[in-house]
Structure 1
Amino acid sequence: MALRFLCIDPDTNGGHCPALHVDDETGDLLVTGRREDDVTNLRQVEANSGIGDHEVLVRLPARMKAIVLAKLLEEARDADTARTAVRRTDRGD
């Protein structure tokens, strides 16, 4: 599995999390961040989608929304560009 770094919280101290990576093979997103331990928040998430025994709820600071969105849009554009290039090659263009 080859992980590619996408972004990190610009206000992090010492270059640690929170951060976002993508698995180049699967396209899955991997998030590092502070584990959410607030019982009220955990109950709300549990009511909506559940949290498996092997899962944790990770908190990303609000300041990362724009950064994460920009990186995900960039990823989507790059994927669209790659698909277009493959289709053109397949057609002989």
Structure 2
Amino acid sequence: MALVFFGKDPNTDGDECPTAWVDDKNADMVLQGWKADEETEAECLTVGPIPGTEAVIRIPARMVPLIRKACDAAEQRSSELR
């Protein structure tokens, strides 16, 4: 796996912060975020279970530009892999 780094939360001290990558091998997006609180998880559970292999995370809105860049790169890489 080769992760392409797109950035960290711009309003952080650089440690333990939301981060965005794209896996160059399969074009998957990889996101690190804050764990959702119980209230948020409970609301998410109203539409279905959260499997043990998945997690609900929060990404701050200020990261939208970084995530947009990662989405564009993932889309481009995905088309190259076809």
Q: Under TM normalisation by the shorter chain, which class is it?
A: 0.7 to 0.9
Aligned residues: 79
What's the counterpart of residue 5 of structure 2?
A: 5
CA apart distance, 1:31: 0.8
TM-score, normalization: structure 1?
0.68
Mapping of residues 23-38 of structure 1, within 5 Å: 23-36=23-36, 38=37
Q: Which has the higher contact order (CA 8 A, sep 6+)?
A: 2
Identity %: 30
Q: Structure 1: any 5+ residue segments left out of the alignment? A: 84-93
Q: Secondary structure at the match of 2:31?
A: strand
* Structure ranking higher in helix proportion: 1
Q: Aligned partners of 2:70 and 2:25: how far apart in 1?
A: 18
Instruction: Find runs of 4+ consecutive structure 1 residues off by over 6 angstroms.
Output: none
Whose Rg is larger? Answer: 1
Contact 2:8 2:14 in 1 (8 A): no
Q: Structure 2: any 5+ residue segments left out of the alignment? A: none
Give the aligned CA root-mean-square deviation in angstroms.
Answer: 2.2
What's the counterpart of residue 64 of structure 2?
A: 65
Deviation by residue 1:26-70 (Cα, 9 ceiling, x = unmatched) = 11111112111x222112212224311122111111111233124
Q: Secondary structure at the match of 1:69?
A: helix
Aligned in 2, Cα 1:69/1:49: closer, same or farther, shift over 3 Å?
Answer: farther
